[in-house]
């Protein structure tokens, strides 16, 4: 056992004890975070505008600070971007994480000296939780790759900005620098396909033990490795045993990954965003990710099916229930207040609090009142594939409201790696799984308002071509699992 491996195991034990302290006192931990946030920000412009000095309780906060999305908070953020201090949080931010908004154009999310360390700690602690539970730490002696955006940063009014993954790349601990790949020169390549080709060239002879990234783009890397070497990734990298991912559900990709790798590997799911690092998978045995309650983020939850009603009830961590779909609302030490990040979650455990990401509040299908969410379509596809040789590369779902003939339907656009022998039977299996999960959808089928699922095959690399056509190939970009319109679906017509 190397000194680095031994050190990782000792450190993992220390971090586990620290985690247990706050995880076993969730309500008190969140109350403390809430008090600290309000006290720290009461002299900011936002704090003065919302009378933070008079806030003593959570009820006070709810009465004074409405839930906002980026558009509603934008006039404050623009002042920060233009160089003003003490607007949303004391002083100026360290960085802006630049993201692509669907309605807002470019979005600039502040990262402060208080919030930045939690992004780094959470990623580190996710790995250490794995080490503590499994005892596996040998990977620390091998090479690690993080498929991410360019670490080159621009600057606005004295504050640097770029993609979150590029910003985080500047914070890789010194003890991992020698293990980290790709090189700086490769990492700053803008064109994603060129970048992946360069990463393949740079890594194919290395002892890669940890690979991390969004599954759809890691799959592209694996395919190129396989094409170049003519053998499974697991034979190219014989010590590769840990895949770290976030951004999308891994399950639709799992079968394809295991084929590309040639064997199963352990995985760790992360829930990071520009607005904060919210959760990570702390156990290989339990479902869900540990919600990080002591990371400078105060959480609120609104039932998703009530979110668009007038004055929906906001609840705190001590009031949530298992299995309910919630819109996640955050207030942070980066100066976001009662902020709707757009993600929906459900709790899989209340002791400790673990969540799964169920979708996006804006990514749904309800063209007929069916309220279909991302988790439902992912579960339906997984169940339909069970016990078969079917493998998929990517998929999305859209409503077809005005078909040329027959009843309306949900169109599943799927890029297959291995097609089902009977496509109609496969579609019916998806449909049955959807009906079992969603009573509204079932009622529409029974009532002959909708016909059953229709599958449209997408050609190989078709979704990559689509993402490239809209300037979102690679990096942290993700294909929506479902849409309430046909903007994506019509691209393939």
What is the token pair recorded at 341? Answer: 């990040």
CA dist 188 and 207 (Å) reads 22
For position 217, what pLDDT does the model report? 83
- Asked if the structure places residue 435 within a domain, the reply is yes
For position 232, what pLDDT does the model report? 96
Average pLDDT, the chain: 91
- Asked if the structure places residue 449 within a domain, the reply is yes
For residue 448, pLDDT beyond 60: yes
For position 44, what pLDDT does the model report? 98
- Asked if the structure places residue 330 within a domain, the reply is no
CA dist 355 and 374 (Å) reads 15
For residue 87, pLDDT beyond 90: yes
What is the token pair recorded at 464? Answer: 């990559």
CA dist 412 and 380 (Å) reads 11
- Asked if the structure places residue 298 within a domain, the reply is no
Better-scored residue on pLDDT, 359 or 203? 203
Residue 92 zone, left/alpha/beta (φ > 0; ψ -120 to 50; rest)? beta
Interval 367-375 mean pLDDT = 83
Give me the half-sphere count of Cα atoms (radius 13 Å) on the Cβ side of residue 381: 27
Lowest-confidence region among 218-232, 290-304, 398-412, 472-486: 472-486
Strands 208-212 and 242-246: parallel
Note the pTM of the prediction, 2 decimals: 0.83
Handedness of CA 307, 310, 316, 321 (dihedral sign): negative
For residue 253, pLDDT beyond 90: no
For position 359, what pLDDT does the model report? 82
* CATH code of the domain in which 401 resides: 3.30.300
3-state secondary structure at position 103: coil
Percent of the chain with pLDDT over 70: 98
Only one residue has tokens 């070497």, namely 229
For residue 145, pLDDT beyond 80: yes
For residue 175, pLDDT beyond 70: no
Interval 153-164 mean pLDDT = 89
What is the token pair recorded at 387? Answer: 């016990």
The domain total for the chain is 1
Strands 242-246 and 266-273: parallel
Better-scored residue on pLDDT, 258 or 371? 258
Q: What are phi and psi of 298, to 5 degrees?
A: -100, 125
Full domain range(s) for residue 488: 374-492
For residue 102, pLDDT beyond 80: no
- Asked if the structure places residue 421 within a domain, the reply is yes
3-state secondary structure at position 191: coil
pLDDT classification of 176: cutoffs 50, 70, 90: low
- Asked if the structure places residue 154 within a domain, the reply is no
For position 100, what pLDDT does the model report? 64
Strands 242-246 and 326-332: unpaired
For residue 173, pLDDT beyond 80: no
Residue 114 zone, left/alpha/beta (φ > 0; ψ -120 to 50; rest)? alpha
CA-based nearest residue to 377, from 302, 284, 483? 483
- Asked if the structure places residue 456 within a domain, the reply is yes
What is the token pair recorded at 238? Answer: 């014989």
Strand order in the sheet with 409-418: 391-400, 409-418, 454-457
181 beta partners: 145
First-residue to last-residue Cα distance in the chain: 57
CA dist 346 and 366 (Å) reads 20
Better-scored residue on pLDDT, 477 or 76? 76
Task: List, in sequence order, the alpha helices (H) in 24-115.
Answer: 26-41, 45-49, 58-64, 70-81
Better-scored residue on pLDDT, 411 or 361? 411
For residue 249, pLDDT beyond 90: no
pLDDT in tens, 224-238: 999 999 999 999 999
For residue 408, pLDDT beyond 80: yes
CA-based nearest residue to 220, from 243, 238, 195, 240? 195
pLDDT classification of 247: cutoffs 50, 70, 90: confident
Encode 89-101: b = buried (16+ Cβ within 10 Å), e = exposed.
Answer: bbebbbbbbbbee
CA dist 304 and 337 (Å) reads 19
What are the E-state strand segments in 65-197?
Answer: 95-100, 106-111, 143-146, 154-156, 159-162, 180-181
For position 105, what pLDDT does the model report? 64
Interval 182-195 mean pLDDT = 88
Better-scored residue on pLDDT, 245 or 484? 245
pLDDT classification of 103: cutoffs 50, 70, 90: very low
CA-based nearest residue to 305, from 356, 359, 383, 378? 359
What is the token pair recorded at 32? Answer: 């403390």
Only one residue has tokens 């979704």, namely 463
Lowest-confidence region among 59-63, 400-404, 422-426, 477-481: 477-481
For residue 257, pLDDT beyond 50: yes
For residue 314, pLDDT beyond 80: yes
- Asked if the structure places residue 89 within a domain, the reply is no
Compute the CA torsion angle 18, 353, 70, 157 (nearest 10 deg).
10
For residue 286, pLDDT beyond 50: yes
For position 369, what pLDDT does the model report? 76
Better-scored residue on pLDDT, 358 or 65? 65
């Amino acid at each position: 056992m190397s000194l680095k491996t031994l050190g990782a195991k000792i450190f993992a034990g220390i971090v586990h004890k620290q985690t247990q302290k706050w995880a076993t006192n969730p309500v008190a931990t969140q109350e403390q975070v809430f008090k600290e946030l309000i006290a720290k920000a009461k002299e900011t412009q936002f704090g003065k505008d919302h009378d933070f000095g008079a806030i003593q309780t959570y009820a006070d906060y709810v009465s004074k600070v409405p839930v906002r999305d980026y558009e509603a908070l934008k006039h404050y953020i623009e002042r920060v971007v233009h160089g003003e201090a003490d607007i949303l949080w004391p002083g100026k931010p360290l960085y802006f994480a630049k993201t692509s908004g669907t309605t807002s154009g470019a979005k600039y999310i502040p990262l402060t000296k208080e919030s930045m360390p939690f992004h780094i700690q959470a990623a580190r602690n996710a790995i250490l939780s794995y080490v503590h539970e499994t005892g596996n730490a040998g990977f620390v002696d091998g090479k690690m790759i993080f498929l991410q955006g360019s670490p080159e940063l621009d600057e606005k009014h004295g504050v640097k900005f770029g993609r979150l993954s590029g910003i985080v790349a500047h914070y890789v601990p010194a003890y991992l620098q020698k293990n980290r790949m790709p090189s700086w020169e490769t990492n700053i390549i803008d064109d994603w396909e060129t970048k992946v080709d360069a990463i393949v060239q740079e890594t194919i002879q290395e002892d890669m033990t940890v690979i991390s990234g969004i599954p759809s783009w890691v799959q592209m890397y694996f395919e190129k490795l396989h094409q170049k070497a003519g053998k499974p990734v697991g034979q190219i990298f014989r010590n590769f045993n840990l895949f770290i991912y976030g951004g999308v559900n891994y399950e639709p990709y799992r079968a394809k990954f295991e084929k590309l790798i040639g064997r199963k590997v352990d995985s760790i799911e992360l829930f990071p965003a520009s607005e904060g690092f919210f959760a990570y998978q702390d156990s290989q045995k339990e479902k869900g990710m540990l919600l990080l309650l002591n990371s400078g983020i105060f959480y609120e939850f609104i039932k998703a099916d009530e979110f668009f009603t007038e004055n929906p009830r906001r609840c705190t961590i001590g009031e949530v229930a298992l299995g309910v779909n919630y819109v996640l609302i955050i207030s942070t030490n980066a100066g976001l207040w009662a902020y709707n990040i757009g993600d929906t979650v459900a709790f899989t455990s209340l002791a400790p609090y673990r969540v799964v990401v169920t979708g996006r509040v804006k990514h749904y299908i309800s063209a007929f009142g069916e309220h279909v969410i991302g988790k439902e379509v992912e579960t339906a596809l997984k169940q339909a594939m069970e016990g078969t040789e079917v493998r998929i590369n990517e998929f999305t779902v859209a409503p077809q409201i005005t078909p040329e003939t027959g009843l309306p339907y949900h169109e599943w656009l799927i890029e297959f790696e291995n097609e089902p022998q009977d496509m109609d039977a496969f579609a019916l299996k998806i449909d049955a799984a959807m009906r079992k999960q969603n009573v509204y959808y079932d009622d529409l089928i029974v009532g002959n308002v909708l016909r059953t699922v229709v599958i449209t095959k997408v050609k190989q690399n078709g979704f990559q071509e689509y993402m490239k056509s809209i300037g979102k190939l690679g990096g942290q970009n993700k294909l929506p699992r479902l849409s309430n319109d046909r903007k994506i679906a019509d691209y393939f017509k």
